[in-house]
Each structure stands twice: as C-alpha cells, then as structure tokens.
Chain A
Amino acid sequence: MSILQLALKSLNNRKTTALLTILSIAVSVALLLGVERLRVEARNSFTSTVSGTDLVVGARSSSLSLLLYSVFHMGNATNNITWETYQDLTSDSAVAWSIPIALGDSHRGYRVVGTSQEMFPYFRYGNDQPLVFRSGVPFDDLFDAVLGSEVAASLGYQLDQDIVLSHGLESTSLQKHDDKPFRVAGILKPTGTPMDRTILISLEGIEALHIDWINGAAPNAMLAVSADKVRSMSLQPTTITAFYVGLKSRIAAFRFQRKVNEYPQEAMTAILPGVALGELWQLVGSAEKALLAISVMVVIAGLIGMLTTILTSLDERRREMAILRSVGARPGHIFALMMIESMIYGVAGVILGVLFLYGLLFAIQPILQIKLGLQIAIALPGTFELLFMVAIIGCATLLGTVPAWQAYRNSLADGLTIRL
C-alpha cells in the first residue's frame, strides 16, 4: 500500500472533518478566483465603456473632467463647442465618422443626450458591440426619444409613451419642457455602460426645446413657440457639448489630437478614451485591490483552518503513527504521510473551489447579461488564476510541513510504544 493510498484511507476515516476542511478551502478559493474574475471583467467592462472611438473632443478642461461628462454624463462641461468648429474639425480627411452630443437636460434624474443618427451605427462599447434595440427604432421624428434600458425599466416606460423632459439636471426641476412632450420611439438593450441611464434625442430636438428660451430662462407666454410651430423653423444646432470621433486609421489619432488642442478659434481638449478610462480606473479601482486583498485573507484563514484540523488530529493519531512505525514505516514515511494529507486538502479544495466558481458563473451569467448587460466570459482559467491555484496548493503543502514535522518528532519520541 502506497503512502498516498494510506493518506486517502486515513482521510476517508475522518470524512466529516476532512470534507468540512476541504469545503472551507473550496469556498475561499471560489471567492478568491471569483473576485479575481469579477475584477478583470469589471476593469474590462469599465475601460471599454467606449470602444472603437478614437478620440473624444470637448471644451478645454482636464481629460478626466471631459471623460466624466462626455462618457459618464457626470458633472458639467465648462463650455460648449460651436457647430462651425465641429463641422470644420470633422471635415478633416482622416475622420471616418463623428457623433456629436449635447447635454444639459434631464428626465427624472436621467440625463438627456442630444445626438445625431450616427450614434446608432457607429457608437461601440465593450467588445466592439453596437447599440441594440430591445424594441422600437432609432429616433426619426423631431420629438422622438430612445431610452436606455435602465431608464425604461425603472420608470416603467413603454413604446409610444409620452414623456416630458426637464431643463437642467436636478431630478426635481421646476422648469419642465411640458409644452413639447417626447414620444418613446425605441428602448435599448442593456449595455452595462452609462448608456443604460440615458435618454437619446436628436440635436434638433434639443434645439427645438430651447428655441424660445432666452439666456437660459423659460419663455413667457407671449414668446413661447408651440410644438407644432417649431417644426417649420430652422433647427440647425448652434453649439454642442462634445463629440466622438472615429478615424480612418488610428495612426492619425495623435495628429488629430494635436490639431484639436491647437485649434486657434476655440480652446478644446481631445482625449483618447481608452487611455483616459484606464487612468480613471486607476482612481476608482483601488476598491478592487481591497477586495482582492480580503479574498486572499479568506484563503489564508481557510488554510489556517486546515492546519488547525491536522494539528488537532495529531494527538489522537499518535497510536496510528506508532503502529505504522512498528510495521516498518520510517519517520520519513510519517512525514510524507502528513505532507500528502495537506496536499490532498489543497488540491481537493482548489478543484472543488473551481467547480463552485464555474457552477456559479454558469448560473448567474444569463442573469447578469439580461439585467445589467454585463458580459462575463466563461473561459478556462487564465495564467494569473492558474498561478493562484498553484500558489494555494503550494501554501497548503508548505503549511503541511508544520504538522508533518510535529508528527515526525512525535514518532521519533514515541518509537513503538503506543500511548493509551
């Protein structure tokens, strides 16, 4: 009988404690690998909030501030960009497409984004995914709106429903555009990006809402322009807040960025969204490191639990060890027996933990996809995760030297005399 068989049979004899120990390691391993997987996915998802866009251009400000208002719709732009400048810059031969955005209005706490039809074919997020409609179509009419998935879900909006937008960003804005209600033309599928919390309307729609406003103040009854009348007016936008640019070749990105930054007529900033998102993740991503550190602690706790289990079992197994010695086992065999036992705990814990994790992933993946638009790829463990697993087994084995050494010394001291 090999030492491995002996160790397995011995563990089988202490099934309950052995299984509980393996279970505690498995749970900690599943937690660690799960956090690691989530960490990678969250980072990927975050840094690909915008993808396929080469540059984002806005009024001159820090890149972080531009990123926050243009992509996450948080905070306000310091200034606007004139329509002429937008036209001039995007007529550059390097530009393949551009998406203008105009911010400033909201609806019950959700941001209204004025944009052009280009949003639907060109905007990409995540792994080069376009915006997809759950129902309805892109806005077509002047007073059409497209809702992000969360907006529709939390406010319970259906297609063709009329909604009234508000001026400004406060959720309890007193100034409502109630003279010009919008109709829900389409509802997007979840994206897991700020798009879910956005209401998209046309730039002309934004213009129409504010055509009778003077210096940011609502019109009085005399000057008000009705929704029907506004249709016959020129609704050419005069300013936008920012715009996304797709270039024919990424090589041109730095040249175009310089061109924007040095544009003589207006002070503007152009950012590479991938780089800026990465920088922002550095700021907000420290939580993920804390989470990872906690899961490492949990694994350490699991391994210490294993150590405790083995050490407590040693005393009651002194007789077993002495019998093994009397039938010819050398102290080295006893040492190996204990080491193998720890290694079995480690290997079984890791395997069970990985099974837990994949079971959980398969169970929650569709839910995350539908509810949050979060894509969690169920792939084989990556190099980093494999390293984790090897490290956990290594640590378990290393910790195993403690009881192994103890048992070794016991067996030398006890010899063949069996203590009662």
Chain B
Amino acid sequence: MSVIHLKDVRFSWVAESLVLDIPELVIHPGEKVFIHGPSGSGKTTLLGLLGGVLTPSSGTVEVLDDDISRLSPIQRDHFRARHVGFIFQMFNLIPYLSVVENVTLPLGFASERAQAVQRSGVSPEAEAMRLLALLGLSDPELLKRPVTELSIGQQQRVAAARALIGSPDIIIADEPTSALDFDSREAFIRLLFSECEATGSTLVFVSHDHSLEALFDRCLPLHRVNRASQHSASSTGEVA
C-alpha cells in the first residue's frame, strides 16, 4: 500500500555518471514526507521522475500503483495533470492571470480535477475562493490585484491553492518556503498540512532546510536514499 514506490531506480544524464541510484523509496497515502535534499543530491531529477517529465534509465517508478515510466509522454502528462499538484520555490504564478484564474488553471488541463470540484457542488471560482480563504487570502481587494503585486508569501499561498484545487492525490512542494521568513514558513506549512489532511492528499516536501524537519511525519535524507549521491558525499568527505 503506497502512493509512491521507487524500486531500483537509476538515472543518468550522460552514460557512466549516475545522478540517481535509489534501491527503494516508499511513500504511504496521506503521509507528509520531508525529503531533505541539499543541492547536488539529485533533488530536481527525483522531482522530474515523480512528475513524469523524466523517465529512469532502469527501474520502476510506481505512482498510485501505475508504473509511470512505462507510460507514453502524453499519458504521463495526463497523469501528472490529474494526480499531482506542484508548488515551486518562487515565481509560481502566471503574471497575466488574476489570482482566481491562476488557482483554477489546472482544472482546464485535468478534467478529473474539474469534475472533482463539480461533484462538491461549487463553481471552480467558488472553490478557488474557498481554498484562498483557508490559506488566509480572503480580502477581496487583494484578490483583485495583479498577482505580480502580491508579496512572495501571498504568491506562495496562491500557488498552494492552485496545487490543492480539485484534490490531487499528491502535492509535491519544491522549496516552497525558501523565500519566506521563519514564522511565515511554519504558518505556511501548517496551512498546507491542514488542507492536505482535509482532502487526503499525500505531501512530498523537498527542502535543504533542516529546521522544518520536525514538523513532518517522516524525514528522508535524499543523500541516504540515493546511493549515487552517497558516493559523491563520501568522496568529498575524504577530501575534507
């Protein structure tokens, strides 16, 4: 019973130089997992694999019991649109769309998520407003402003609402708090947690910042999971 199950996954951009070598990585439904990944640990590559943008050189990437590495690129795109919500470090929003339009954007690309909103009996805009309100963005004046005029914290909460809309199974957050100060970070993460719990989504949170670790159910240091990264870590250790 797993949401994400990586087995014997190897990935290299160029032959002979492994970036990822993960014997096994399991994430359970509803878990809130912190993946600690300093730069160079293969973090971006791992997210690429989970998002179905990259395929491993060998091994299986099972997401929701589907081996997505066996899907065609278009099927993987569909899969991502349907099941995964992303939040990135910063500049997450489309500058020419309104706050609400940014939040409802995924619904146009994933009919399943649009239907999930429809089943709950509200319009996409109302659902976006609900999520924004839950994340502390309810001021109508604020919602009318161009997204580029929002503070970074506010932008990240809009991005979170967008990742959450239509209740995708997995939320992948890549350093979403790195541009926030410490207090805002914790508040942001708690808001994210409560929403994931409400929709039953699994949260994969990737960061190099240890201080956030304690808030999560489980912490997976990427350099321990990824043997390719261990090699480089041990070699630098020897030099030191």
Contacts and interface: CB of A to CB of B under 8 A. Distances in A.
Interface in B38-52: 44, 47-48, 51
Given A415-B51, A415-B54, A328 B110 contact: yes
B162 interface: yes
B96 A13 contact: yes
Interface stretch (A169-177, A259-267, A318-326): A318-326
Interface string B70-101: 00011001101110001011011111110001
B91 A327 contact: no
Contact of B51 (A13, A331, A416): A416
Contact of A417 (B44, B77, B91): B44
Dominant SS among interface residues on chain A? helix
Contact of B94 (A2, A324, A415, A420): A324
Contacts of B108: 1-2, 328
Nearest to B83: A328
A324 B81 CA distance: 10
Interface residues of A, number: 24
B54 A328 contact: no
Given A326-B88, A327-B162, A415 B48 contact: yes
A320 B96 CA distance: 10
Contacts of B74: 330, 332
B207 interface: no
B104 A416 contact: no
B53 interface: yes
Contacts of A328: 77, 80-82, 106, 108-110
Contacts of B97: 1, 9
Contacts of B88: 326, 416, 418
A327 B85 CA distance: 7
B109 A418 contact: no
Interface residues of B, number: 31
Nearest to B108: A1
Given A326-B51, A416-B53, A1 B96 contact: no
A420 B88 CA distance: 12
Contacts of B78: 330
A323 B54 contact: no
Nearest to A323: B94
Contacts of B73: 331
A319 B92 CA distance: 9
B105 to A, nearest CB: 5
Contacts of A325: 53
Nearest to A412: B73
Contacts of A333: 109
A414 to B, nearest CB: 9
Interface string A308-348: 00000000000110011111111111000000000000000
A324 B51 CA distance: 13
Contact of B101 (A1, A2, A324, A330): A1
A256 B9 CA distance: 97
Contact of B95 (A320, A415, A416): A320
A78 interface: no
B109 A10 contact: no
A329 to B, nearest CB: 5
Interface string B8-50: 0000000000000000000000000000000000001001100
A326 B91 CA distance: 13
A328 B109 CA distance: 5
A239 B218 CA distance: 118
Contacts of A12: 96
Contact of A330 (B48, B77, B86, B96): B77
Contacts of A418: 88-89, 91
Contacts of B48: 415-417
A325 B78 CA distance: 11
Nearest to B81: A328
Given A415-B48, A417-B48, A327 B86 contact: yes
A2 B114 CA distance: 13
A331 B95 contact: no
Given A9-B101, A416-B48, A416-B88, 8 more contacts: A12-B96, A13-B95, A320-B94, A323-B93, A328-B81, A330-B81, A415-B48, A415-B53
29 contacts: A1-B97, A1-B108, A319-B91, A320-B95, A323-B92, A324-B94, A324-B105, A325-B53, A326-B51, A327-B81, A327-B109, A327-B162, A328-B77, A328-B82, A328-B106, A328-B108, A328-B110, A329-B77, A329-B81, A329-B109, A330-B74, A330-B77, A330-B109, A332-B74, A333-B109, A416-B47, A416-B86, A417-B48, A418-B91
Interface of A: 1-2, 9-10, 12-13, 319-320, 323-333, 415-418, 420
What 3 pairs across the A-B complex have the smallest Cβ distances? A328-B81, A328-B109, A13-B96
